C-alpha cells in the first residue's frame, strides 16, 4: 500500500556567535494524510475518529478503542445491560447484538495505526462526514460526530462517553 505523504519545508533561524544563520528543515506532515481504508488479506482497516476499526471479508466489524470505555450499554432482550471495562467493540454474529471484545488485544489495528478516512463532501446537513462500507458492513462518523457501525442486522454507536450496542 502506498500513501501520498505531504512534505513541508521551513526555515529555522538563530544567532550563532553574533551571526544570523538560517537552516532549511524538511519534515513530513502525518496529520494531513487521509485516504480510504487499507485492505489487507480481505480485511479493511481504517480509523473512525479515535477508534481503530476493521471489517473482515465475512462482515465482522470490530473497533479497538484508544481509550477503553468504562462501560458499554448492550441491548439484550429489550433491556439495556451495562458491561464494564470495554477495550474493543465487535459485531461478529447475526444472533448477538454488538458487544465488548475483551480479547481483541489490538487485533483491529495495523502496526503504526489505521489510515484516516477522507472527509466526504456533504450534500446536506445530515450526511455523514466519513464513511466506509466493506463486505456488507458500514461504519461512519455522522453529521453530529457520532461513531456508528452496522453489520449482520446489529450495530453500535457512541456519542458521549458510553458506547451502545444493539
What's the rounded Cα separation, in Å, for the pair 162 and 72? Answer: 6
Question: At 90, is the pLDDT very low, low, confident or very high (cuts 50, 70, 90)?
Answer: very high
Quote the pLDDT of residue 121: 82
Quote the pLDDT of residue 29: 33
**pLDDT at 22 exceeding the cut of 60:** no
Question: At 35, is the pLDDT very low, low, confident or very high (cuts 50, 70, 90)?
Answer: confident
Question: At 17, is the pLDDT very low, low, confident or very high (cuts 50, 70, 90)?
Answer: very low
Kindly state whether residue 15 falls inside one of the protein's structural domains: no
Question: At 55, is the pLDDT very low, low, confident or very high (cuts 50, 70, 90)?
Answer: very high
Higher model confidence: residue 116 or residue 15? 116
Higher model confidence: residue 91 or residue 28? 91
Question: In this structure, what C-alpha cell is assigned to residue 138?
Answer: 458500514
Question: In this structure, what C-alpha cell is assigned to residue 161?
Answer: 462517553
Average pLDDT, the chain: 83
Look up the domain containing 83 and give its range.
Answer: 35-165
User: Mean of the pLDDT values across residues 65-83?
Assistant: 95
Residue with cell 448492550: 74
Share of the chain above pLDDT 90, in %: 66
Kindly state whether residue 16 falls inside one of the protein's structural domains: no
Kindly state whether residue 24 falls inside one of the protein's structural domains: no
| Total domains present in the chain | 1
Kindly state whether residue 28 falls inside one of the protein's structural domains: no
Quote the pLDDT of residue 33: 54
Amino acid at each position: 500500500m502506498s500513501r501520498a505523504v505531504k512534505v513541508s519545508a521551513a526555515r529555522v533561524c538563530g544567532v550563532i556567535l553574533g551571526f544570523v544563520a538560517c537552516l532549511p528543515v524538511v519534515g513530513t506532515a502525518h496529520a494531513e494524510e487521509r485516504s480510504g481504508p487499507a485492505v489487507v488479506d480481505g480485511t479493511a482497516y481504517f480509523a473512525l475518529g479515535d477508534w481503530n476499526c476493521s471489517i473482515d471479508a465475512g462482515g465482522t466489524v470490530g473497533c479497538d478503542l484508544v481509550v477503553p470505555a468504562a462501560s458499554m450499554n448492550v441491548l439484550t432482550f429489550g433491556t439495556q445491560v451495562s458491561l464494564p471495562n470495554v477495550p474493543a467493540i465487535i459485531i461478529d454474529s447475526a444472533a448477538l447484538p454488538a458487544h465488548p471484545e475483551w480479547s481483541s488485544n489490538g487485533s483491529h489495528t495495523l502496526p503504526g495505526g489505521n489510515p484516516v478516512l477522507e472527509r466526504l463532501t456533504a450534500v446536506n446537513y445530515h450526511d455523514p462526514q466519513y464513511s466506509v462500507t466493506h463486505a456488507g458492513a458500514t461504519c461512519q462518523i455522522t453529521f453530529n460526530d457520532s461513531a456508528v457501525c452496522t453489520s449482520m442486522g446489529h450495530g453500535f454507536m457512541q456519542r458521549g462517553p458510553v458506547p451502545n450496542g444493539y
